[in-house]
A and B are shown apart, each in its own frame.
Chain A
Amino acid sequence: MLKLISSSKFKSSKSLTGIQISLYHHLSSTSAHSSSSNTAPFSRKYIGFWQSRFLRAHSNFADFSPNSVGEVRSFCSESVRRECLNYDVVIVGAGPAGLSAAIRLKQLCKENDVDLSVCVVEKGAEVGAHILSGNVFEPRALNELLPNWKQEEAPIYVPVSSDKFWLLSKTRAFSLPSPFDNRGNYVISLSQLVRWLGLKAEELGVEIYPGFAASEILYDSTDKVVGIATNDMGVAKDGSKKDIFQSGVELKGQVTLFAEGCRGSLSEKVISKYNLREKGHGQHQTYALGIKEVWEINDDKHHPGSVLHTIGWPLDPKTYGGSFLYHMKDKQVALGFVVALNYSNPYLNPYEEFQKFKHHPAIQPLLEGGTVLEYGARTLNEGGYQSIPYPVFPGGAIIGCSAGFLNVPKIKGSHTAMKSGMLAAESAFRALCEGSSLEAFWDSLRSSWIWKELHSARNYRPAFDYGLYPGLALSALEHYIMKGRSPWTLKHGKPDHEATDEAHKWNPIEYPKPDGIISFDVPTSLYRSSTNHDHDQPAHLRLRDPKIPELINLPVYAAPESRYCPARVYEYSADENGHQKLQINAQNCLHCKACDIKDPKQNIEWTVPEGGGGPGYTVM
Chain B
Amino acid sequence: MKILVAVKRVVDYAVKIRLKPDKSGVETSNVKMSMNPFCEIALEEALRIKESGRASEVVAVSVGQAQCTDTLRTGLAMGADRAIHVEYPGTLYPLSVAKIFKALVDAERPALLLLGKQAIDDDCNQTGQMIAGLLKWPQATFASKVVLDEGNKVATVDREVDGGLETLSLDLPAVITTDLRLNQPRYATLPNIMKAKSKVIKKLTPLDLNVEIRSDLEVVQVTEPPKRQAGVILSSVDQLIDRLKNESRVI
Interface residues of A (CB under 8 A from B): 33-37, 45, 83, 85, 125-126, 129, 192, 207, 209, 212, 230, 233-234, 242-244, 246, 249, 251, 371, 373-374, 527-528, 530-532, 616, 618-619
Contact = CB atoms under 8 A, between A and B. Distances in A.
B192 to A, nearest CB: 10
Nearest to B13: A532
A246 B187 contact: yes
B76 to A, nearest CB: 12
Contacts of A126: 32
A426 to B, nearest CB: 27
A204 B31 CA distance: 24
B14 A532 contact: yes
A37 B197 CA distance: 9
A129 B32 contact: yes
Contact of B12 (A125, A251, A371): A125
In the A-B complex, the 7 residue pairs with the smallest Cβ-Cβ separation, listed nearest first, are: A532-B14, A249-B190, A618-B30, A233-B187, A246-B187, A35-B198, A530-B15
A244 B187 contact: yes
Contacts of A246: 186-187, 189
Given A85-B190, A530-B15, A618 B32 contact: yes
B191 A192 contact: no
B249 interface: no
B190 A212 contact: yes
In this complex, the interface size class of chain B, counting residues with CB under 8 Å from chain A, is 20 to 34
B190 A230 contact: yes
Given A35-B198, A129-B32, A249 B191 contact: yes
A251 B194 CA distance: 12
B32 A616 contact: yes
B23 interface: no
B16 A33 contact: no
B203 interface: no
B161 to A, nearest CB: 26
B191 A530 contact: no
Q: Which of B12, B34, B190, B193 has the most CB of A within 10 A?
A: B190
Interface string B169-201: 000000000000000111101110111011000
B136 interface: no
B20 to A, nearest CB: 12
A244 B195 contact: no
A85 B194 contact: yes
A530 B194 contact: no
Given A249-B191, A619-B30, A244 B16 contact: no
A229 to B, nearest CB: 11
Nearest to A529: B16
B153 interface: no
Nearest to B44: A244
B243 interface: no
Interface string B5-30: 00000001011101000000000001
B73 to A, nearest CB: 12
A25 B185 CA distance: 33
Given A528-B16, A616-B14, A244 B185 contact: yes
Contact of A34 (B186, B187, B190, B194): B194
B32 A34 contact: no
Nearest to A243: B184
B185 A34 contact: no
Q: Which of A129, A230, A371, A616 has the most CB of B within 10 A?
A: A616
A530 B33 CA distance: 13
A242 B183 CA distance: 12
A36 B195 CA distance: 10
22 contacts: A33-B195, A37-B198, A45-B194, A83-B191, A85-B191, A85-B194, A125-B12, A129-B32, A209-B193, A209-B194, A244-B185, A244-B187, A246-B186, A373-B18, A374-B16, A527-B16, A616-B14, A616-B15, A616-B32, A618-B31, A618-B32, A619-B30
Contacts of B191: 83, 85, 249
Contacts of B189: 83, 246, 249
